């Protein structure tokens, strides 16, 4: 029988994950989502056939997995409201919240729980996500597989064995979609400067990004080789790549990802320390 999965929060990230699970054949009747937004719950029950409720603790009473999918700023209050129900049931806890450590969540929920912490990214909303996952020592192999199944419903999953590496995951894939959106903006603007209509430049830029990523995923060659394959000696690409390399593109990415990881550490400290009685 399918594990009972309860989502605390029924917003973008939760609905992307349970939507993907249902589309992959997971029974909607084994899924519950909670929210204070009654209209949202009515719509979800009608459209996806899942159970819905505004009572977080009741939704946990029969759950095998509880996915915490509310904003980090209200997580403490939500966790403390769930504490008794979670301690009575002891389900696997999966958090998609940015910046909150497995230990912080475990403490807020009363302790000694199996916790998987996940750093997803927004392309999960279109089934093309990339998530980094970390499990604390209480997570069993079966629970690890279950967490993999949940997040693979919206994209690829990579496990890290050191929670601090989730900062690197944030720097590469959590925040990463924004880097590519910036590149698309820049390429569109450059195309327009060279005379293309904006709509044409955007379409070409986006399809080129999609094509390059698809090709790199399917190829037996690494991205460096694929890049060299486009660079005919003395040709146009060579000029463009030299310009990007001379302009310091690699160093810019190194600096940007370091700044990102540092901010992830700061935010974790802020979220933990701004909450009294810890
Ligand atoms: N790495 C990334 O780019 C992303 C990370 N996330 C993480 O996912 C989490 C959820 O984000 P979104 O889905 O974008 O937010 P959202 O605002 O779309 O959804 C939050 C949901 O929580 C519900 N909610 C509010 N108070 C509640 C309560 N007391 N009990 C139960 N539900 C309550 C709201 O009604 C809403 O359905 C966040 O913690 C965020 O950090 C989300 C999107 C992308
Ligand atoms: O920018 C942020 O803080 C969040 C975390 C990863 C993606 N968005």
Residues 35-86: pLDDT tens digits?
Answer: 999 999 999 999 999 999 999 999 999 999 999 999 998 999 999 999 999 9
Q: Is residue 252 part of a domain?
A: no
Q: Indicate if ligand 2 lies below 6 Å from the C-beta of 175.
A: yes
Are residue 146 and residue 195 in the same domain, yes or no? no
Q: Is residue 142 part of a domain?
A: yes
In sequence order, the 6+-apart residues with CB closer than 8 A to the CB of 221 are 229
Are residue 132 and residue 181 in the same domain, yes or no? no
Q: Domain containing 212 — which CATH number?
A: 1.10.3730.10
In this prediction, residues 199-208 reach a mean pLDDT of: 98
Are residue 138 and residue 225 in the same domain, yes or no? no
Looking at the chain, list the stretches that DSSP marks H as alpha helix, in order from N- to C-terminal side.
12-23, 38-48, 56-60, 72-89, 102-108, 141-152, 165-169, 176-193, 198-218, 223-230, 236-246, 249-273
Q: Indicate if ligand 1 lies below 6 Å from the C-beta of 129.
A: no
Determine the pLDDT at residue 1: 84
Are residue 147 and residue 39 in the same domain, yes or no? yes
Q: Indicate if ligand 1 lies below 6 Å from the C-beta of 104.
A: no
Are residue 22 and residue 77 in the same domain, yes or no? yes
**Number of domains making up the chain:** 2
What are the angstrom distances between the C-alpha of 249 and each of 70, 94, 245? 36, 36, 6
Are residue 118 and residue 235 in the same domain, yes or no? no
Looking at the chain, the whole-number percentage of residues with pLDDT higher than 70 is 98
**Domain of residue 47, residue span:** 5-162
Q: Report the relative pairing of strands 129-135 and 115-119 from DSSP bridges.
A: antiparallel
- Which tens digit of pLDDT belongs to each residue from 103-157? 999 999 999 999 999 999 999 989 999 999 999 999 999 999 999 999 999 999 9
How much distance in Å is there from the Cα of 140 to the middle of ligand 1? 26
What's the CA gap between 60 and 63, in Å, rounded?
Answer: 5
Are residue 122 and residue 187 in the same domain, yes or no? no
Question: Is 54:34 a contact under the CB 8 Å cutoff?
Answer: yes
User: 273 pLDDT band (50/70/90 cuts)?
Assistant: low
What average pLDDT is seen over the chain? 95
Instruction: Determine the longest span between alpha carbons in the chain, in angstroms.
Output: 69
Q: Indicate if ligand 2 lies below 6 Å from the C-beta of 139.
A: no
- Probe target for ligand 2 pocket from 131, 174, 263, 264, with the most ligand atoms within 8 Å of CB: 174
Q: Is residue 261 part of a domain?
A: no
How much distance in Å is there from the Cα of 98 to the middle of ligand 2? 7
Q: Indicate if ligand 1 lies below 6 Å from the C-beta of 118.
A: no
Q: Is residue 169 part of a domain?
A: no
pTM attached to this predicted model: 0.92
Q: Domain containing 64 — which CATH number?
A: 3.40.50.720
Q: Indicate if ligand 1 lies below 6 Å from the C-beta of 278.
A: no
């Amino acid at each position: 029988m399918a594990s009972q999965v309860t989502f605390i929060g029924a917003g973008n990230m939760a609905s992307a994950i349970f939507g993907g699970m249902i589309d992959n054949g997971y029974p909607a009747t084994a899924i519950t989502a909670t929210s204070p937004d009654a209209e949202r719950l009515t719509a979800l029950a009608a459209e996806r056939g899942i159970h819905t409720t505004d009572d977080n603790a009741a939704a946990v009473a029969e759950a095998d997995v509880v996915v915490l999918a509310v904003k980090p700023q209200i997580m403490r209050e939500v966790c403390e409201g769930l504490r008794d129900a979670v301690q009575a049931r002891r389900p696997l806890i999966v958090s998609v919240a940015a910046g909150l450590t497995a230990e912080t969540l475990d403490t807020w929920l009363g302790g000694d729980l199996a916790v998987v912490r996940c750093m997803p990214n927004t392309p999960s909303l279109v089934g093309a996500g990339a998530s980094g996952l970390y499990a604390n020592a209480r997570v069993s192999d079966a629970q690890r597989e279950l967490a993999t199944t949940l997040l693979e419903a919206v994209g690829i999953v990579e496990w890290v064995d050191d929670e601090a590496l989730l900062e690197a995951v944030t720097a590469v894939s959590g925040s990463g979609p924004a880097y590519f959106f910036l590149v698309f903006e820049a390429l569109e603007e450059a195309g327009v400067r060279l005379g293309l209509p904006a709509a044409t430049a955007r379409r070409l830029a986006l399809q080129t990004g999609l094509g390059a990523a698809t090709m790199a995923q399917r190829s037996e060659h690494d991205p460096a080789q694929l890049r060299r394959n486009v660079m005919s000696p003395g040709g146009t690409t060579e000029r463009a790549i030299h310009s990007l390399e001379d302009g310091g593109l690699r160093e810019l990415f190194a600096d940007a990802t370091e700044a990102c990881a540092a901010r992830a550490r700061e935010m974790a400290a802020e979220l933990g320390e701004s909450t009294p009685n810890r």
